[in-house]
């Protein structure tokens, strides 16, 4: 089973990211769950969402405490949270950041696998809004290989309708631009 935790702020789409990943996994014949964990339910407040993907039915229904993958949609959360907390050995931390890997590693005292992409810039340029959820899904695909860009197109179409093409483009661009650091 691959367990994922998504860190974002209300309105950025962390919950949507988890749901899209789960839907794509289900569409490809895997089993998956996705669910949020909210604090104060307001725009801008920290939000955490979770997803699990497996080849077998997923019966686990509690928060992910030892994720294999952590996705950080908002780099400001690095200042107030420890997103790498509980990250499994060999796991990957995927961050929306324009900073280089050395700066990030120093900032959060993290030496494990790291994937970086400037999702904020990509989202603004492609979608026209600083909402990084679909962009970060592209980084997740690049960093994990758990899904493919192609497998996410159907869930994106169903979720976003007429604006799906821009979200797919942002996901594809993030996939291409994400850098992985071992």
- 168 band by pLDDT with thresholds 50, 70 and 90: very high
Q: Is the model's pTM score more than 0.85?
A: yes
- Whether the per-residue pLDDT at 41 is higher than 70: the answer is no
All domains in the chain, ordered by first residue = 2-181 (3.40.920.10)
pLDDT digits (tens, 9 = 90+) for 88-135: 999 999 999 999 999 999 999 999 999 999 999 999 999 999 899 999
pLDDT score, position 39: 61
User: For residue 42, what pLDDT is reported?
Assistant: 66
| Nearest residue to 137 (alpha-carbon basis) of 23, 11, 9, 1 | 23
């Amino acid at each position: 089973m691959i367990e994922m935790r998504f860190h974002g702020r209300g309105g950025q789409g962390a919950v949507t990211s988890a749901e899209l990943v789960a839907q794509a996994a289900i569409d490809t014949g895997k089993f998956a769950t996705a669910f949020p964990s909210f604090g104060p339910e307001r725009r801008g407040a920290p939000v955490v969402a979770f997803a699990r993907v497996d080849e077998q039915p997923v019966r686990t229904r509690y928060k992910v405490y030892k994720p294999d993958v952590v996705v950080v949609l908002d780099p400001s959360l690095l200042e107030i949270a420890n997103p790498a907390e509980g990250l499994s050995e060999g796991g990957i931390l995927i961050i929306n950041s324009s900073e280089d890997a050395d700066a990030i590693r120093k900032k959060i005292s993290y030496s494990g696998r790291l994937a970086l992409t400037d999702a904020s810039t990509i989202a603004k340029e492609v979608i026209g809004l600083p909402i990084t959820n679909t962009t970060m899904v592209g980084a997740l695909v690049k960093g994990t290989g758990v899904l493919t860009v192609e497998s996410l197109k159907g869930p994106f179409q169903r979720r976003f309708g007429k604006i799906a093409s821009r979200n797919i483009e942002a996901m594809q661009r993030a996939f291409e631009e994400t850098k992985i650091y071992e």
